[in-house]
Structure 1
Amino acid sequence: MKHILFSLLFVFSLSAFSQILEPVKWTTSVEKISDTEYNLISTAHIDAGWHLYSQTVPDGGPIPTTFIYDNSEENFTINGNTKEGEGHTVQDPVFEMEIKFFEGEATFVQNINLSQATATINGIVEFMVCDDTRCLPPTEIDLEFQLGDKKALTTETKSEVIPAATLEKNIEKTEKSVASKGLWSIFFIAFLSGFAALLTPCVFPMIPMTVSFFTKQSKTKAAGIKNAIIYGISIIVIYVLLGTAVTGIFGASALNALATNVWFNVIFFILLVVFAFSFLGAFEIVLPNSWANKVDSQADRGGLVGIFFMALALAIVSFSCTGPIVGTLLVESASKGGAAPIIGMFGFSLAIALPFALFAAFPGWLNSLPKSGGWLNTVKVVLGFLELALAFKFLSQADLVLQLHILEREVFIAIWIAIFGALAFYLFGKIQLPHDSPLTHISVGRLSLGLIVLSFTIYMIPGLWGAPLNLISAFPPPLEYSESPYGVGFSKLGSGGSASAHGDLPEGAHLLAPHDIMAFNDYDTGLAYAKKVGKPVMLDFTGWACVNCRKMEQNVWPDPGVLNILKNDVVLISLYVDDKRELEPEEVTESQLKPGKQLKYIGQKWSELQTIKYKSNSQPFYVIIDHNEDKLVEPVGYLPDVPDYKAWLEEGVENFKEE
């Protein structure tokens, strides 16, 4: 009884006098579809100013929302993935990736089929929330879904029922919201790629030939224009069907999951390298001649069917030029998931189809077209270099996931410098490839493009020594994933210590890149060292996926005055509340905040320490303590103002000296 009373008093004191935050409340409901089919609905009610992360956060990003449904008794089967409600997708500058999150309210729906009668299904949701100044550690909440009377599957559910039409509408809005930004970029890139494909040797000469055919074979000009438009529409239909087939075969959710799969990225790296070598002239990728002959024979039938087969013949005959571009677009759009392959093929085919319709309507424009020649092969070669560079993006993603450190930032940038440097030499006529025509002079356009590529190559060179390269930040690995994470002179930021200033690092300590600050990740080890050297302790409650923690480390800590204190005047102990490594068996203890549950992970240990001792559960959270573990100054959270943060540090250090 005393234990229960103490627990109640403890919880009351935390809620009444502390900074314990619970910005997300979860409710559950059930929608009955049939006697055996149900939707399990989890709704997150999010306080104003806070946001909850999506289930599909890319690797290296914040902690995603995760649902686990207890099916230990095998009472049901799970159909597909948990659907999400409407959210917001933004390009996060800290994680350098697109991240989706929710505000206000978020709905998650999981469809199941019962195999035997059951009244209740239990689940767990793990999630992470942040506002503009802080993040909370990953939290687990138990979920309970009441299906009704266990004796009969047909019994009405006891919990709130949401109409099926509303659910479908929410799911549809979700898919549109997640993909809208990415789909527009895919369409734009695909549209430009279609124009690039027009300028290849396989497609460009077909424009006057095809337009002339329609204008001569048609009895009137209007009929010629009509047939050319139908021809263009047929081209669009053919490529859109290809995109639809890719989406239909793999499935939208499967494509999205494949985007972070190691083998997906490795296979696509190989494919893009093959496409690139094809464009560079090593070989040609062609479809069987029998296909073209059979399709061409159908084109003679006339009418709408004949026009459609003429468009199909163009797609097959020009495959050696368009195939690598189409393949690259499908690779890139497949990594986005959803309807991206369809949108990509629509943008690509629209760019190809437009000239045929326009030149048929205005045949006089044909006279303004440049003549076919060696410049068409130059376009192919330039595209080949671009595809080769893009290929290493996929290989880099696989290396990051596996943490092999084979394709680190410097290696990636060096490869890109070599590729674009070779492209610049090619444009200047210093390199010739198999299908190039003799180059007697360099045109102004080719010279201008060569200068742009050369400038870009020179721009990338400082990246070998730690320059951020903001123009291409989405492509190479992050700064910390490199051979020299400190970059040029980074270890000498600020006055005072550097790596050598610490001498041999004590046991349990490491240097925190890129600022060269000695830090501990264990509370007891760091405290013991602080007592030994006679310095106060600065506890840094942080998280691997804490955006504002990274902002403090990137924008505030590099200040010379702040950095000097962190290196020389305090002992830094960084405690990661989202550390998913398991505790040693002898360290596993029962949670004081949730009696009956055990602390299994290192992060749970530090999160509970922060909550119980300092009555706060948000990160970043900084505390300066003495050797008796008493606070020397009131703790602070996210404090981006450098003078204020420095003054706080100085106050803590001065109070320690006065003791």
Structure 2
Amino acid sequence: MRRILFTFTLLVAAVIANAQIVNPVNWSFSQKQISANEFELILTAEIENGWHLYSTDLPEGGPIKTSFNFENLENVELIGEVNASKESIETFDNSFQMNLRYFEGEVVFTQKVKVNGTGKVSGYLEFMSCNDETCTPPMDEEFSFELEGETAQVKETSTPEKAGSDRNYWSIFFIAFLGGMAALLTPCVFPMIPMTVSFFTKQSKTKAAGIRNGIWYGVSIIIIYVILGTVVTAVFGAESLNSLSTNPWFNLFFALLLFVFAFSFMGAFEIVLPSSWVNAVDKKADKGGLLGIFFMAFALALVSFSCTGPIVGALIVEAARSGGMAPVVGMLGFSSALAIPFALFAAFPGWLNSLPKSGGWLNSVKVVLGFLEFAFAFKFLSIADMVLDLRIIEREEFFAIWIAIFIGLALYLWGKIRLPHDSPMTHLPVSRFVLGTVVFAFVIYMIPGLWGAPVKLISGFPPPVDYAESPLGVGKSQPAGFVTDGHTTGTMALGIHTGPHGIPLFDDYDKALAYAKETGKPLLIDFTGKGCTNCRKMEDNVWVDQEVKNMFLEEYVIVSLYVDLREKLPEDEQFISETTGKKIRTVGNKWTDFQISRYNRNTQPYYVIVDHTEKELVDGYSYNSDPRSFADWLKTGVEAFKE
């Protein structure tokens, strides 16, 4: 009886231990013959609820994308690239400052091949998955196919319906709609509302006809701008724009474009289209009928281009960074905001009496928009600077520039600065005083960012805290024993380097353990990943806490082991894992196997505290964004080490 109970206890313990090794993506493979010598290789991923699998087209510098490596091709030729059965979901990740794509549920990848007689295909795929709290390390799955011409087995695979990127598209639509509302308040568009509506009400024989014509005018505006978004998508490709989002030259071009738009709005010059274009469209509009009304809307788009062009350009630039159909969705939102007032005022012309009169305030709207575009231009410049690692616009420089820009905007709103085309102002309107005060309060909020404050309200715009002249913050000294290399990073004896928020870290386990013994401190092992978004959240929200940071600096030696490093191990250091049975090819594979074999875990972030004999002092710590909880765990580790 005791033996049975003992065996049962071991089985329960094994189940509990193995439950900590997660594998949220289950792969299956099949093939389908589509002609005498062509096949479709089918690789199906079933993803657990709450988890997502990263897409195949992530930009550089982010998580590990799903990739397919066809290593051995015997009498087989690949046709085209791997295609997914549905569109990936897209979202902006504040940790990586980029748009990330991923799949949920089930997704089927297919690769067409051409076989000459009997053929074989083998290789492996690499993937990474995350949920809201943790990520798996890059994992690989081997596959093989045997293709035998017309005798090959045909296996059908159902194709899930497309999920789309609805969440991201709705946000783009909303932002573009706000941009259209701002364009309505510019001097090129606002005066056109009463003029155009009056034309429809006078030319239409009945009220119903006037309403119908006004609605068609609004619909025509939407059609024109949506066509513009469609052209942009067609020319650049639905996916290629997203891959360019971290391209330094693409971001540099966007920045220069926004500078031109900003200076135009501020009155340095006007961006106008050739008058011959406007005249040609005007002649078409004179023909009357629905076609004439359409060309009237086209004429509005051309005449108002000096005001709407910079806003449209900025919206397309931002939408283009999202890729997919985002430019089309953006133009739909922008044009809807422009079109709705024309249709409504045509239906209810009496509302025109409630509109404010045109005046100098319209030019002020343009100038304010110019300041905003000027500020956003530096966001694109900073991305190009970070990708090229030029360190011209580091975090401090970025904050200094934005503080200067918004001080200028506040002074403009208070009437202390006048720009070309501004009307004389005898008194300061209450609205400008209030708005100027809000802008100046925003300036005061940003100032601590120069000294290393997180400034979470604009998180995602400035460069990260470790891309700064002073990673620890202006005026703060480096950790004891730290030797700088003349720049923002530094090295210490035994391989310490500057980590997030200026915290000194090791990346070599043996060196870290030796240094922990030398200094008489416990060793904190940080299982992390370059592409682990939840790891970045812990660093941004927990490591930055002053109590946690002080304990890192004073009580612990820390080693960060990156499970997704792609650096190949020397041939004589590669091995087959005794735990998983998989080949350990890279440095990341090595640390993944270390985590699994020692601690029965394969997700990140995961923190372990050990003593000098490598004994685990307390239970490991997974994702929890509460700094107080993490600080208490660190204190428990110190107390256990001292016992």
CA contact (8 A) 1:279 1:384 kept: yes
Report SS of the residue matched to 1:442.
Answer: coil
Which runs of structure 2 are paired with 1:381-460 in the superposition (5 Å)? 381-460=367-446
What displacement does 1:570 show?
4.6
Give, in whole Å, the separation in 1 of the partners of 2:381 and 2:81: 29
Shift of 1:59: 4.8
Segment drifting more, 105-114 vs 227-236: 105-114
- Counterpart check, 1:509 vs 2:496: yes
Give the drift of 1:529: 3.1
Cα deviation 1:40-61 (Å, max 9, x = unaligned): 3322234566543333445544
Aligned partner of 1:605 among 575, 590, 593: 590
- Structure 2, unmatched stretches of 5+, are 1-12, 484-490
Q: How far apart in 2 are the matches of 1:128 and 1:26?
A: 13
Query: How far apart are residue 124 of structure 1 and its match?
Result: 2.5
AA aligned to 2:637 is L
Seen in structure 2, the aligned counterparts of structure 1 residues 369 and 467 have a Cα distance that, compared at 3 Å, is: same
User: What letter is aligned with 1:380?
Assistant: K
* Counterpart residue number, 1:650: 638
For the residues of structure 1 that align with 2:37 and 2:379, how far apart are their CA atoms? 45
* Distance in structure 1 (CA, Å) of the matches to 2:49 and 2:96: 23
Give the corresponding residue for 2:266: 280
In terms of mean alpha carbon deviation, does 223-232 or 75-84 score higher?
A: 75-84
Cα gap change, 1:23/1:36 in structure 2, threshold over 3 Å: closer, same or farther? same
Return the letter of the residue paired with 1:573. V
Contact 1:520–1:526 (CA<8 Å) still a contact in 2? Answer: yes
Structure 2 residue 261 is the aligned partner of structure 1 residue 261: no
CA distance in structure 2 between the partners assigned to 1:388 and 1:118 by the alignment: 62
Partner in structure 1 of residue 576 of structure 2:
591
Kept after mapping to 2: 8 A contact 1:639/1:645: no
**2:603 is aligned with 1:618:** yes
Distance 1:356 1:409 in 2: 44
2:110 corresponds to: 110
Find the aligned partners of 1:308 and 1:560 in 2 and give their Cα distance.
62
The aligned residue for residue 631 of structure 1 is: 615
Quote the Cα distance in structure 2 between the aligned partners of 1:412 and 1:473: 13
Q: d(CA) in 1 for partners of 2:154 and 2:622?
A: 40
Counterpart of 2:587, as a letter, is: I
Structure 1 pair 589–361 and aligned structure 2 pair: CA distance change class (3 A)? closer
- Residue of structure 2 in register with 1:138 after alignment: 138
Per the TM alignment, residue 241 of structure 1 is displaced from its structure 2 partner at its CA by 0.9
Structure 1 position 601, deviation (Å): 2.8
Q: Spell out, residue by residue over 1:606-643, the C-alpha distance to the aligned partner (whole angstroms, 9 max, x if none).
A: 2233334445433344444555x442536524174347
Decide whether aligned partners of structure 1 residues 108 and 630 sit closer, same or farther in structure 2, where only a CA change above 3 A counts: same
Residues 96 and 489 (structure 1), Cα distance of their counterparts in 2 relative to 1, 3 Å cut: farther
Compared CA separation, residues 529 and 473, structure 1 to 2 (3 A): closer
Equivalent residue runs for 1:319-338 within 5 Å? 319-338=305-324
1:419–1:36 Cα change, 3 Å: farther
Equivalent residues of 1:232, 1:356 under 8 A apart: yes
Distance (whole Å) between structure 2 residues aligned to residue 410 and residue 587 of structure 1: 45
Pairwise CA RMSD: 3.3
Aligned positions of 1:192-203 closer than 5 A = 192-203=178-189
AA in 2 matched with 1:619: Q
User: What is the CA distance between 1:530 and its match in structure 2?
Assistant: 3.7
Range that drifts further, 35-44 or 423-432: 35-44
The 5 Å alignment of 1:570-585 reads: 570-583=556-569, 585=570
The one-letter amino acid paired with 1:83 is A
| 8 Å Cα contact 1:39/1:109 also seen in 2 | no
Q: How many correspondences in the alignment?
A: 619
Describe how 1:71-110 pairs up with structure 2 within 5 A.
75-79=76-80, 82-83=83-84, 85=86, 94-95=95-96, 99-103=100-104, 105-110=105-110
Structure 1 residue runs without a partner (length 5+): 1-12, 492-497
Contact 1:536–1:624 under 8 Å retained in 2: yes
Residues 327 and 378 of structure 1, relative CA distance in 2, 3 Å threshold? same
TM-score, with structure 1 as normaliser: 0.84
Matched position secondary structure for 1:507: helix
Q: 1:638 corresponds to which letter in structure 2?
A: S
Kept in 2: contact 1:515–1:558 (CA 8 A): no
Tell whether the 8 Å contact from 2:70 to 2:122 is kept in structure 1 after alignment: yes
Which AA in structure 1 matches 2:574? T
Shift of residue 239, structure 1, vs aligned partner? 1.0
Q: Does 1:182 align with 2:168?
A: yes
SS of 2:270's equivalent? Answer: coil
Cα 1:91/1:207, change in 2 over 3 Å: closer
